[in-house]
Amino acid sequence: MNYRHSFHAGNSADVLKHSLLIALIRALQQKESALTLIDTHAGCGLYDLHGEEAGRTGEATQGVLRAFADPNPLLDDYRAAVRTVNEGAEPRLYPGSPRILAQLLRPQDALILNEKHPEDAYALRGAMRGTQAAVHERDAYEFWLAMLPTRTPRGVVVVDPPYERTDERARITATLAAAHRKWAHGVTVIWYPLKERPMHALWKDKLRRLGIPKFLNVEHWLYDADQPGIYNGAGLFIVNPPYAFTQGLPPLLEALRAALAPEGHRGEISGEWLVV
């Protein structure tokens, strides 16, 4: 499955991912100690929703535009993050995870980004100009392990690949196992698209068998029945989420489900612990 982000910026998966990422970082920031935020597949950092690639799919109409039309105050933090890079009432630009993470930084925090594709890395450096971010251009999985343990007492690694390679899930599984051995207390967030339930169930079982103690899985299925051969939703695996985040999660998930449900569908969203 090819998920090059410029074609999908601002879709329902982005709303889910960025809403939860904001809530997660803010929960961690209830403690004063410094955080290092690491994004292994950072992309371009900023996307034009009226540009050729995003316009070709039009997926923002089912994502960020739905979130902006929804009155639920639980989505206010997400909407504020998007408004930060826009001037008008309706978003034209969409901030990728790097720009959202940069907005959340405190003076004691650090942001380290990585993007392997040279053109995207060039765009990323431009998008992050004026921020505290350091930008690398390396293999994402080598970079992930090389950054651990973080220099600060606490940290978050965000893993958001395009799933262009057939071995992407296997590389994530192997790298996560190695990362957990080096950095057992760290927080890791892994985003993934949902297409076919049987394939996803097999991957989830492999991750479960890693035996990571605090391993949360959030899944958002858009449709009441799977739509063959197309994107059916997205999810996040979160290692070591803080208590403040998990306590506030149920109402936020319900707000996201309601805001993003396609016409004629209720959809399904859940959060569960992966237990061996």
* 157: pLDDT strictly greater than 60: yes
31-81 pLDDT, tens digit each? 999 999 999 999 999 999 988 766 666 789 999 999 999 999 999 999 999
* 165: pLDDT strictly greater than 60: yes
Q: What is the pLDDT of residue 56?
A: 64
Confidence band (pLDDT; 50, 70, 90) for 8? confident
SS3 state of residue 242 = coil
Q: Tell me how far apart the alpha carbons of residues 275 and 78 are, in angstroms, rounded to a whole number.
A: 30
* 199: pLDDT strictly greater than 70: yes
Q: How much of the chain exceeds pLDDT 90, in percent? A: 84
222-234 pLDDT, tens digit each? 998 877 767 899 9
101-145 pLDDT, tens digit each? 999 999 999 999 999 999 999 999 999 999 999 999 999 999 999
> For domain 5-233+242-273, which architecture applies?
3-Layer(aba) Sandwich (3.40)
- Sketch the domain layout of the chain as residue ranges: 5-233+242-273
Cβ partners under 8 Å of residue 52, min gap 6? none
| Active site residue ranges | 160
Q: What is the mean pLDDT of residues 218-247?
A: 91
Confidence band (pLDDT; 50, 70, 90) for 90? confident
Give ∠ CA 75-37-159 in degrees, rounded to 5: 80
Q: Tell me how far apart the alpha carbons of residues 152 and 32 are, in angstroms, rounded to a whole number.
A: 12
Q: Tell me how far apart the alpha carbons of residues 276 and 97 are, in angstroms, rounded to a whole number.
A: 31
Instruction: Name the token pair of 89.
Output: 């009432």
Q: Tell me how far apart the alpha carbons of residues 211 and 226 are, in angstroms, rounded to a whole number.
A: 29
* 3: pLDDT strictly greater than 60: no
Higher pLDDT, 1 or 24: 24
